[in-house]
């Protein structure tokens, strides 16, 4: 068990389970991008650990970049504006968006809008975790490590209010009924 802030979490997925699914993803992506040089775009902060392990299994030429989505109020005519901080020039590139987790899909939709505006050649989405019960969008998630129920998890890059990213396994929020 681990305690982060006010909440208790119990073990959910071990390192071996994570590594197996990450290796499978890397092999799938390597095969699909065989003759290309894609750029893996890790979405900070959550994806740092996943992308680092994914790259250890990836074979073939590729580039790696990390970015953070920043959204702010534009003028009244532009509404909310999103940018990808530090992403560099992505025009004409084959981009693989790397997320730790996709749940509602709201963040992802903003990221995709920015990439389309940047004029990328193509984009695909890779996420270590996907919560199908929470997903509200129609955008396909091309590479999914593990589908999980709609329960809060931490570890392996994922946080609860800033804590827990450094845990090497995945922990799930302990239900009050389990006491």
Among 87, 97, 153, 167, binds ligand HPA (CB under 6 A): 153
**Rounded to whole angstroms, what are the CA distances from 69 to 5, 62, 64, 83, 122?**
25, 22, 16, 6, 19
Q: Which of ligand HPA, Mg ion, none does residue 53 bind (CB under 5 to 8 Å by kind)? A: none
Q: Which is nearer to ligand HPA, 7 or 55 (CB)?
A: 7
Among 158, 167, 170, 171, binds ligand HPA (CB under 6 A): 158
CB closest to ligand HPA, residue no: 158
Q: State the nearest-atom distance from the C-beta of 148 to ligand HPA, in Å.
A: 8
Q: Which is nearer to ligand HPA, 143 or 171 (CB)?
A: 171
Q: Which of Mg ion, ligand HPA, none does residue 103 bind (CB under 5 to 8 Å by kind)? A: ligand HPA
- φ/ψ of residue 163, rounded to 5: -105, 155
Our finding on whether 128 is near ligand HPA (CB under 6 A) is no
Q: Which stretch binds ligand HPA (CB under 6 A): 3-11, 87-95, 108-116, 153-161?
A: 153-161
Q: Which is nearer to ligand HPA, 41 or 158 (CB)?
A: 158
Residue 63: Cβ within 10 Å count:
12
Active site residue 103: yes
Q: List 40's β-bridge partners, or say none.
A: 64, 96
Neighbour-count burial of 7, counting CB atoms closer than 10 A to its CB (0-12 exposed, 13-18 middle, 19+ buried) = middle
Our finding on whether 112 is near ligand HPA (CB under 6 A) is no
44/174 Cα distance (integer angstroms): 26
161/146 Cα distance (integer angstroms): 23
Among 18, 51, 54, 101, binds ligand HPA (CB under 6 A): 101
Give the residue among 7, 25, 34, 62 at the shortest CA–CA distance from 141.
Answer: 25
Q: Match 């004029």 to its residue by tokens.
A: 119
**Can you give the binding site for ligand HPA, defined by CB under 6 A?**
101, 103, 152-154, 158
Known catalytic residues are 103
């Amino acid at each position: 068990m681990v305690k982060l802030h006010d909440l208790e979490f119990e073990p959910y997925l071990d390192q071996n389970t994570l590594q197996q699914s990450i290796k499978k993803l890397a092999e799938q992506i390597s095969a699909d991008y065989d003759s290309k040089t894609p750029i893996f775009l890790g979405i900070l902060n959550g994806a740092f650990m996943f992308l680092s392990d994914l790259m250890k299994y990836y074979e073939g030429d590729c580039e790696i970049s990390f970015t953070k989505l920043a959204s702010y109020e534009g003028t009244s005519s532009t509404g909310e504006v999103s940018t990808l901080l530090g992403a560099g020039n992505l025009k004409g590139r084959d981009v693989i968006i790397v997320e730790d987790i996709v749940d509602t899909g709201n963040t992802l939709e903003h990221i995709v809008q920015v990439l389309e505006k940047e004029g990328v050649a193509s984009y695909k989405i890779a996420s270590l975790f996907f919560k199908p019960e929470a997903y509200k969008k129609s955008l396909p998630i091309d590479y999914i490590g593990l589908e999980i129920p709609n329960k809060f998890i931490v570890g392996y890059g994922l946080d609860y209010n800033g804590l827990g990213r450094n845990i090497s396994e995945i922990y799930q929020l302990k239900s009050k009924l389990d006491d």
